[in-house]
Structure 1
Amino acid sequence: MIKIVTDSTCDLPPGWISRYGLTVVPINIQFGLETFYEGQTIDPSAFYQRIKAEGALPTTSQPAVGEFSQVYQRLADNGSEILSIHLTSKLSGTWQSAILAARQVQDQVKVYVIDSLTSSVGLGLMVREAALLAEAGLSTAEIAARLEARRPEIHVFIMLKDLHYARMSGRVGRLRELLASLLHVKPIISVDEGALIPIERARSQQKGFARMVELAAERVGQTPVHLGVTHAQAPREAATLLALARSQLNCQETFMADLALSLAVHFGPGTVGFATYPVEG
């Protein structure tokens, strides 16, 4: 039997997590000396209220190697193998923690660790495909190879409402190059080989959404895709973006989800984005 592990940045609907029997390891969020487990001991309302009250961002950190080891040992039974799929190693040490834990338990269980080179709904859609392939009877090695081949076909577009959080965050890579020159614009960001890359600027949300969908159409055309939309406290805006994407792309499965707090800390409330993922087969 194949067990699938991911982390709390996967941004899948709760129903899908239970439907596919996924194990989700939480990212750590630290406010001062207090540590919270994403998706377990802090909710979005408390998270944003605390940032507003303190005027500073929390830090985030990957799960400890020991935490992954415990999860793998718990799942190791009856000859099971584990597929552990995580957010891009360009933004987090989570993948590295999983790799080290897999080595620790290698005499007990075989663990395949995949760097998705993406996160949020892109990661979620990859995890979903892994679960479907496992149900279809593919081996763990075959699934791992399929997922690694999928990575260049995942297209991600994110638009920030403003640059307040990005200015405070120290982990946004090349976005920092633009912060001094961008005034009253909404940056559109993509993901290239696992790294965040600013690609466009929009003067309004409406124009930004239109451009994001246009960019996606340039990359996927009318190829059938699954699509996930994510947002940070912006459900109405996310619904608008989802409707626009459905009207112009050949969408099959679609869903909306809250942006993981450990990602939203770098982008801020009002952020909206989506990922396209090629249909299986």
Structure 2
Amino acid sequence: MASVAVVTDSTADIPLGTRTELGISMVPLKVLFGSESYLDNITLQPAEFYERLPKFGGLPTTSQPSPADYLEVFERLLAEGKSIVSIHLSGAMSGTYQSATIARSMLDDDADVTVIDSKSASFGYGQLVVTAAEMARDGASKEAIVAEVRRLRDELKLYFVVGTLEYLQKGGRIGKASAVLGSLLNIKPILSIDKEGVVYPFDKARGQKRAFARIVEVLASDVGGRPVNLTVATTPGHTEGAAELTDMLKRALDVREFKETDIGPVIGAHAGPGTIGLFVFPLRSD
């Protein structure tokens, strides 16, 4: 049995089967449709969320787990004799990481819990969590796991293309006039996340095909011919163009491992349906 336990939150967008197989403990955020509250990826699954989204009319809200939610998980795992590595959504985007940090501070000073700010979102840190859990399963030390997570965090290349500007506008990331004009001109923003974990507009293109071509061009330059691990994340029911982009990336990059996953309700509430996320991890050359 692994001596290191891995904890994360639901915005890592790790499929249930993977979490179960690797023994990953997941603390959910909440999604609220008005007064109705759901646990992300537990009582509200991605497919159900995106089916309900256009019918709601407004913008669902989200809320982070409390420190008590994390404390309960930490105490249970420590009682089982585990060391804990807890990896979370960028602290620049949410108080989720802070909640986990506060929970750590409520434990004894010698409690073996390390909380890591992924400075990323969705499977951009889901892969960090999966790698940590695989290493724990294989008997790696906590120190080796933490070092590899931090290496991967620094190596990650990720880009998002949104299907509609509506949710960026509703969430206050772009103005209404920009959203209307962008929609009329079929502008596709390309978003990324900087080293501090902040979402920023990397570029924009007229139309999806040009946006895809730009992403492929940038990624090919970013990884410099190194073999990569590629994950493509989509919103269920709104996957137009994902297969085309995947094919373009596989032809342009040396893809050694490929995964697909769903963008969950919390990330989807801010990015909207039709969003495609690309997560590229250059592999070690040794």
TM over 0.5: yes
CA distance in structure 2 between the aligned counterparts of 1:177 and 1:78, rounded to whole angstroms: 52
Match of 1:47 in 2: 49
Matched, 1:134 2:136: yes
Q: 5+ residue gaps in structure 2?
A: none
The one-letter code sitting in structure 2 at the alignment partner of 1:264 is G
Task: Give the paired residue count.
Answer: 278
CA contact (8 A) 1:102 1:110 kept: no
**What do you get for the CA RMSD once the two structures are aligned?**
2.1
The one-letter code sitting in structure 1 at the alignment partner of 2:203 is E
Match of 1:121 in 2: 123
SS state of the match for residue 44, structure 2? coil
CA contact (8 A) 2:216 2:252 kept: yes
CA distance in structure 2 between the aligned counterparts of 1:46 and 1:151, rounded to whole angstroms: 31
Matched, 1:255 2:254: no
Query: In the TM superposition, what whole-angstrom CA distance separates every residue of 1:68-90 from its partner, at most 9, and x where no partner exists?
Result: 11111122234311110011111
Match of 1:277 in 2: 281
Q: 5+ residue gaps in structure 1?
A: none
Match of 2:211 in 1: 208
Matched, 1:61 2:60: no
Q: How does 1:127-276 map to 2 (within 5 A)?
A: 127-170=129-172, 172=173, 175=174, 179=178, 182=182, 183-193=185-195, 194-233=197-236, 234-276=238-280
The one-letter code sitting in structure 2 at the alignment partner of 1:216 is L
CA contact (8 A) 1:162 1:184 kept: no
Gap change, CA 1:36 and 1:2, over 3 Å in 2: same
Taking structure 2 as the reference length, what is the TM-score of the superposition?
0.89
Matched, 1:94 2:93: no
> What percentage of residue pairs aligned between the two structures are identical?
37
Alpha-carbon offset, residue 216 of structure 1:
0.8
SS state of the match for residue 279, structure 2? strand
Equivalent position to 1:15, from 9, 12, 17: 17
Taking structure 1 as the reference length, what is the TM-score of the superposition?
0.91
CA contact (8 A) 1:73 1:109 kept: no
CA contact (8 A) 1:188 1:201 kept: yes
Q: Which moved more, 1:228-237 or 1:184-193?
A: 228-237
Match of 2:76 in 1: 74
CA contact (8 A) 1:162 1:185 kept: no
CA distance in structure 2 between the aligned counterparts of 1:190 and 1:256, rounded to whole angstroms: 19
CA contact (8 A) 1:87 1:119 kept: yes
CA distance in structure 1 between the aligned counterparts of 2:154 and 2:47, rounded to whole angstroms: 35
